[in-house]
Amino acid sequence: MTLDTLNSIFAWTAIIAALLTAISTIGSWWTGSIIDARKQQEIAGLHVMVGALQPRTITVSQREKLISKLPKYNQMKVGFAAKMLDPEARSFAEQLASAFRQAGWSIVDPINAQLLDDYDGYINIIAVSTGIADRDKELTATADQLFGSLADADIPCRPHPIREGSIGGQLVPGSIYLLIGARPARTQGDG
């Protein structure tokens, strides 16, 4: 073998090595970006799962908004019913009761912990009849205003039909009750 032949072999080997290096670099970058995207999706899914495990709370901002938006009906009583055997729902009901108390509302104590139904994670509101048409009309109008106050404070609420027998215990006639079911079950795809 001559030096020219060896030189040619080494030159071609260098070119092939450079091409293989370029292909390896591009392949590594491409597969790395795919792996990173998958890891980011997994991390986002884990954040959602961890969020689903966290108890609901009322933030300082939500509390301030709620207190400022609540109608000033100090003569009306508001009660709270939490999902039976659900400490998270009861804790959330206690936070809401505290905000209503701070806004000057009379609270029906203790919190009724005999609610059987859920409302897809939303708060539901009912007015407990007095049997006096004008008073019941006022209660219903106030309950409707409370939906607006909660919504303005970014607290999830919506009217939902009440199933007969879904609330145990004694409800105080002439009062408005906020019904707090279990927090919604979230799946990995929820945002």
How far the first Cα of the chain sits from its last, in Å, is 70
Tokens of 40: 């980011």
Q: What is the pLDDT of residues 40-54, one digit of tens each?
A: 998 888 877 776 678
pTM of the model: 0.72
Beta bridge partners of 179: 81, 124
Q: Where are the domains of the chain?
A: 1-54, 60-180
pLDDT given at position 73: 64
pLDDT given at position 88: 94
Read off the pLDDT band of 76 (50, 70, 90): confident
What distance in Å separates the CA atoms of residue 47 and residue 101, rounded to the nearest whole number? 34
- DSSP annotation of 19: H
Integer angstrom CA distances of residue 15 from 11, 18, 19, 22, 56: 6, 5, 6, 11, 63
The predicted model gives 25-35 an average pLDDT of: 91
Task: Give Dmax (Cα) for the chain.
Answer: 115
Residue 55 has pLDDT above 60, yes or no: yes
Spell 20-34 as b/e; 16+ CB within 10 A means b: eeeeeeeeeeeeeee
* Residue pair 92/128 in contact by the 8 Å Cβ criterion: no
Residue 188 has pLDDT above 70, yes or no: no
